[in-house]
Structure 1
Amino acid sequence: MTTWLTDIFGTEKVAIGLVHLKALPSDPMYDFEGGMEKVIDSAKHDIVALQNGGIDGLMFSNEFSFPYQNKVSQEVLAAMAYVIGVVKPIIKVPFGSNVISDPSASIALNAAVGGQYTRGQFAGCFSSNSGIVNQDVGAHQRHKANLRMDNFKIIHYVRPESSRDLGGRTIQETVKTANFENMVDAFGVSGSIAGQKIDMNVLKEIKNTAPNQVVFATTGLTLDSIEEIYSKVDGAFVATYFKKDGIFENPVDENRVKSFMDKLKDFRSKN
């Protein structure tokens, strides 16, 4: 089955590599001495490594804005737009951006920088590590529509990382309702934290409930899990595995990207 993934990436079973931006102004871990130049240099390195390794697409994320906020500061949003604007001349593949835990900001940022997709929690009420997450999907979809982002794609998390549905809904109930009324472009499935493998039982429930919907794995992909995961999903976001020695805080290792993408392309050619 051909989906919107082919329209954007020219293929199905895509891999999107994360460009984890270093801490930004107003973030507790921001490096005042290195400043924005350090953030930009890190982003450039990771973009080149991902693209040289054969990645299908990029996703910019304020990954080191610990602890995350449900409403990001003006400085973080401005800094993300600045970084993407600076590095845009070297981007050779489709890209999107994700302002973690702030879906309205994600839409605004992508409208400004020309991103083609984002991911996040756009609907539902959950108890999470950062408190109560309560998203108004109607407001987010109207925000997108008012900006004339007709071809912009939103990957909806079924549940945020490390969270519980406050209404006690099952995965099946959540997916069935969202797929019917939330104008979902794709569902995203994550582990409890970055780098952790997704729950295959959750993935199975999603596919059984919405068999024709695009589904992404958003955490935990490795070289060894390509066949298992990609036999069930349409795409994946890959981050930790691509880092040097597979360590979250490290820069992207081009050789790890190439090994992963070579194996994925071989899988695609046979399926």
Structure 2
Amino acid sequence: MTNWLPDVFSSPKPVVGMLHLSALPGDPGYDSNAGIAAIVDRAKRELDALQSGGVDGVLISNEFSLPYLTDTERITSVTMARVIGELSSDLSVPYGVNVLWDARASIDLAVATDAAFVREIFTGVYASDFGLWNTNVGEVSRHRHRIGAGGVKLFFNIVPESAAYLADRDLSSIARSTVFATLPDALCVSGLTAGAPTDTQSVSIVKQAAGDVPVFVNTGVKAENVADQLSVADGAIVGTFFKKDGKFENSADQSRVEELMSAARSYRAEAAA
């Protein structure tokens, strides 16, 4: 696999900021009185904070659709498409989408909104907080082909949050077989939950096993550890640190985005020197 990252991102070792949409119609937390307009308004503010703060890309997800479904309702991706359509004129960085936790719906949404990439759980069987969680990467890959989504890059999260792999396999073996058998465009390594630290050793293990496939740190990246994480990983996806006071439920805080991105740029400049 050739290095495709420069074709999508303008900076080496890109930092992708999470744009967490508010609870959507059908979700337990949806505010039907405020309606879709409130979701769009918050999303626009979040996008402005992330882009003004200097992120290299944005990943739009229904993070507040808790508790998540593994086979989502149609209203979820339909509403996300509506919101992304309203954001489209303001998007100035590469963006991806993630319909938690539904691989097919995520790819469908990417095609509908011209997203460059998707992050999802594509492989494995898990015991999770959301029940027994199965996948079918062969079926999803064929669906991707049928709908003309070959250009959409797939980020495989091989250490999903709030779940444990049912097979007794080590991380290196999982990474090697995932790369060989399922053809991911990138691998993501996570901690236990959103914002939870990702062990640098785990990232190193996956990186060594992944060959030419890029590896992203998926959770727990902060201004104080971004240099260490990027010294191993090919990129990072950041959500919780960018929030006000570093709390998952809060809105994005531009000053925190600027703080982390300044540290990331400093690391990249030193690495290139």
TM-score, length basis structure 2:
0.96
Paired residue for 1:150?
Answer: 150
Paired residue for 2:33?
Answer: 33
Paired residue for 1:48?
Answer: 48
The one-letter amino acid of 2:249's match is E
User: How far apart in 1 are the matches of 2:59 and 2:175?
Assistant: 24
The one-letter amino acid of 2:104's match is S
Q: Alignment partner of 2:33: what SS?
A: coil
The one-letter amino acid of 2:200's match is M
User: How far apart in 1 are the matches of 2:33 and 2:115?
Assistant: 30
What is the CA-CA distance between 1:57 and the residue it aligns to? Answer: 0.6
User: How far apart in 2 are the matches of 1:71 and 1:198?
Assistant: 27
User: How far apart in 2 are the matches of 1:254 and 1:146?
Assistant: 40
Paired residue for 1:79?
Answer: 79
Q: Is the 8 A contact 1:221 1:236 kept in 2?
A: yes
Runs of 4 or more above 6 Å deviation:
none
Unaligned runs of 5+ in 2: none
What is the CA-CA distance between 1:213 and the residue it aligns to? Answer: 2.0
Paired residue for 1:112?
Answer: 112
Once superposed, what is the RMSD of the aligned Cα atoms?
1.3
Q: Is the 8 A contact 1:126 1:163 kept in 2?
A: yes
- Superposed CA deviations along residues 181-208 of structure 1, whole A, max 9, x for unmatched, are 1011111000101101112232122122
- Superposed CA deviations along residues 81-126 of structure 1, whole A, max 9, x for unmatched, are 1000111111111111100111110000101011010111101111
Unaligned runs of 5+ in 1: none
Q: Alignment partner of 1:248: what SS?
A: coil
Q: Is the 8 A contact 2:107 2:149 kept in 1?
A: no
Q: Alignment partner of 2:233: what SS?
A: coil
User: How far apart in 1 are the matches of 2:154 and 2:10?
Assistant: 18
Q: Is the 8 A contact 2:121 2:156 kept in 1?
A: yes
Paired residue for 2:138?
Answer: 138
Paired residue for 1:235?
Answer: 235
Q: Alignment partner of 1:223: what SS?
A: coil
Count of residue pairs brought into register by the alignment: 271
**2:2 paired with 1:6:** no
Paired residue for 2:203?
Answer: 203
Q: Is the 8 A contact 1:215 1:234 kept in 2?
A: yes
Q: Alignment partner of 1:151: what SS?
A: coil
Q: Alignment partner of 1:19: what SS?
A: strand
**2:94 paired with 1:88:** no
